[in-house]
Amino acid sequence: MSRKSLFTDLLGIQGWRVKAGGVRIEEDGVVVEIEPKRPGFRCACCGQGVLFAYDHQPVRRIRDFPVWGRRCHLEVQFARVDCPDCGVGIEEVDWVKRYGRYTQRYELYVASLCDLLPVTDVAELEGLNKNAVYKIDKKWLKRREEQREEPPVRYLGIDEIAIKRGHRYATVFYDLERRTVIGLVKSRRERAVGGFFRRWGKKQCKSVVAVCMDLWSPFLNSVRRHCKEAVVVFDKFHVYGYLSKAIEGVRRHQQNVCSDEDGKLIKGSRWLWLRASKNLKRKQTHTLDQIMAINKPLAKAYLLKEDFEAFYECEGREEAKKFLTQWMKRCRESRLEPFIKLAKRLKLSQPSINVRLRKLKDKGITADDIGSMDDLRHLPFTF
Ligand SMILES: [Zn+2]
């Protein structure tokens, strides 16, 4: 094998070869002069073939892979072609972008270095401008992102997070199985949440088996609309949050309406109501008993909250459903505004239980499927 064709094989760019005697070592690394193997060009505008060159551009240096530890530059003179359709313009080649300073494969190499090292280190290592490295990294990240086929999400989590101070919220979407964030919208309104599902696509929405989320009706409505087949699961953590809020609402109201002396007692008891009864010290239990003896609404509220524990002891859906219906009835009859509200909220989530269960059966999804979700988030109640 001649030295020339050996170099051409090493170069590995289809349709191009290393010029005779075209390899030299300079201070900056190896410089390789290359030329097309045969005549014939392609118009960069429309892609049609043109046999002859119109003229040639000045010599350009294009950075390529390192050669045996040295930096490597390709020297090339691109042709301009006179395309019958587009006029005079530069020829097209597939291994470097028009007017690009790096070969595509070198960019990919730099981008993969960026996976391992900070951009500044890559820039120093390769003797490149920091901004250029940053640009390359961004470009290839985007390209890889576009090419990646998203795996189907079976268990979707939806959560709200507060952004900035005040009442600004964002909605985060999680893949609960892979424990990754798959999306974020800067609002918790139904339109924005629905927008995520639309962008996500029908195919993805269809693959969702269960959604775990907060008792927030815009979430629920969006999920019902876009992931019709999915089982909705409410997060235990959120449910307790609502219970705590309800009892705190009752406590604050009672503190304001009762006599000064009782008010003082109630005021100091704020945190005791929120704690599980089994975690209270004897003295604290005594304080609660004392207050409940003189304040009926708080006693009622506390009972409602404590009794809700039993929900998580329910075995099977039917039992859970029965319990919930009764518990909500008690809320409505309690005449405690915060609990009536909570019951309404839970009721919003109740319709179509039976339809959903039937659908689940049709799809052949077993309790085990949903069971695996229990492990991820201490399963609250499913519909
Ligand atoms: Zn053309």
80 Cα to the center of ligand 1, angstroms: 11
Q: Where does the pLDDT of residue 1 fall: very low under 50, low under 70, confident under 90, or very high at 90 and above? A: low
pLDDT tens digits, one per residue of 29-74: 999 999 998 888 888 888 888 888 899 999 999 999 899 989 999 9
Q: How far is the CA of 55 from the centre of ligand 1 (A)?
A: 16
Phi-psi region of 202 (alpha: psi -120 to 50; beta: other; left: phi over 0): alpha
Tell me the per-residue pLDDT of 136-194, one tens digit each, with 9 for 90 and over.
Answer: 999 988 888 777 767 788 888 888 888 776 678 888 898 887 778 888 888 888 888 99
Q: Which pLDDT score, from 0 to 100, does residue 166 have?
A: 67
Say whether both 83 and 191 belong to one domain.
no
Residue 277: DSSP 8-state = G
| Per-residue pLDDT, 286 | 87
- d(CA 73, ligand 1 centre) in Å: 29
SS3 content of the chain, % helix, strand, coil (to 5): 50, 25, 25
28 in any annotated domain = yes
- Using alpha carbons, list the distances in angstroms from residue 208 to 36, 201, 283, 369: 52, 12, 49, 12
Say if residue 181 is in the same domain as residue 244: no
Tokens 């799809």 belong to which residue?
363
Q: Are both 370 and 306 inside the same structural domain?
A: yes
Distance 50 CA to ligand 1 centre (A): 9
pLDDT band at residue 235 using 50, 70 and 90 as cut-offs: low
- Residue 269 belongs to a domain: yes
Residues 344 and 273 in one domain: yes
Query: Does the residue 383 lie in any domain?
Result: no
Highest mean pLDDT among 120-129, 144-153, 158-167, 227-236: 120-129
Residues 240 and 129 reside in one and the same domain: no
**122, part of any domain:** yes
The residue among 52 and 18 whose pLDDT is bigger is 18
Give me the mean pLDDT over the 311-336 stretch.
Answer: 80
Ligand 1 centroid–CA 51 distance in Å is: 12
Rounded to an integer, the average pLDDT of 342-368 is 50
- pLDDT recorded at residue 367: 40
Ligand 1 centroid–CA 47 distance in Å is: 6
18 and 107 together in one domain: yes
| Whether residue 301 sits in one domain with residue 291 | yes
Answer yes or no: are the C-beta atoms of 247 and 301 closer than 8 Å.
yes
Q: For 267-300, write each residue's pLDDT tens digit.
A: 778 888 888 777 888 888 888 888 888 888 888 8
Which of 122-126, 192-196, 222-226, 260-264 has the least mean pLDDT? Answer: 260-264
274 found inside a domain = yes
Q: Could you report the per-residue pLDDT of 200-224, keeping only the tens digit for each?
A: 888 889 988 888 887 777 888 898 8
* More confident: 117 or 349: 117
Contacts of 129 (CB under 8 A, 6+ apart): 123
CB 83 within 8 A of CB 42: no
pLDDT confidence of residue 379: 35
Residue 23 predicted with pLDDT over 80? yes
Give me the mean pLDDT over the 76-81 stretch. Answer: 92
Q: How far is the CA of 98 from the centre of ligand 1 (A)?
A: 14
Quote the number of domains for the chain: 3
Structure confidence at residue 317 as a pLDDT band (50, 70, 90): low
C-beta of residue 214 within 8 angstroms of C-beta of residue 235: yes
Q: Are residues 341 and 280 in the same domain?
A: yes
Residue 365 has pLDDT above 60, yes or no: no
If you measure from the C-alpha of residue 90 to the centroid of ligand 1, how many angstroms do you get, rounded to a whole number? 10
**Cα-to-centroid distance, 54 and ligand 1 (Å):** 13
Centre of ligand 1 to C-alpha 81, Å, is 9
Q: How far is CA 161 from CA 214, 226, 281, 336, in A?
A: 11, 22, 34, 29
State in Å: Cα 211 to ligand 1 middle: 52
Of 116, 144, 172, which one is at a domain's C-terminal end?
144
Q: Are residues 10 and 120 in the same domain?
A: yes
Are 105 and 23 part of one and the same domain? yes
> Does residue 301 belong to any structural domain of this protein?
yes
Note whether residue 149 is domain-resident. no
- Residues 112-129 have a mean pLDDT of 92
pLDDT at 368 > cutoff 50: no
Any idea what the CATH number is for the domain that residue 171 is in? Answer: 3.30.420.10
Distance 40 CA to ligand 1 centre (A): 14
* 256: in domain: yes
Query: Residue 332 belongs to what domain range?
Result: 236-376
Domain co-membership, 49 together with 136: yes
* Centre of ligand 1 from the C-alpha of residue 49, in Å: 8
- Quote the ligand 1 centre to 144 CA distance (angstroms): 30
Do residues 171 and 188 lie in contact, with contact meaning Cβ atoms separated by under 8 Å? yes
Among 213, 234, 255, the domain boundary falls at 234
- pLDDT exceeds 70 at position 378: no
Measured in Å, residue 42 CA sits from the centre of ligand 1 at 8
Question: pLDDT tier at 377 (50, 70, 90 boundaries)?
Answer: very low
What are 265's two structure tokens? 């007692």
CA proximity to 42, closest of 80, 95, 97: 80
Band of pLDDT at residue 348, cut at 50, 70 and 90: low
Ligand 1 mean position to 320 CA, how many Å?
A: 71
- Identify which of 248, 339, 257, 251 has the alpha carbon closest to the alpha carbon of residue 291: 251
Whether residues 213 and 244 share a domain: the answer is no
Instruction: Choose one of 92, 123, 144: the last residue of a domain.
Output: 144
pTM beyond 0.85: the answer is no
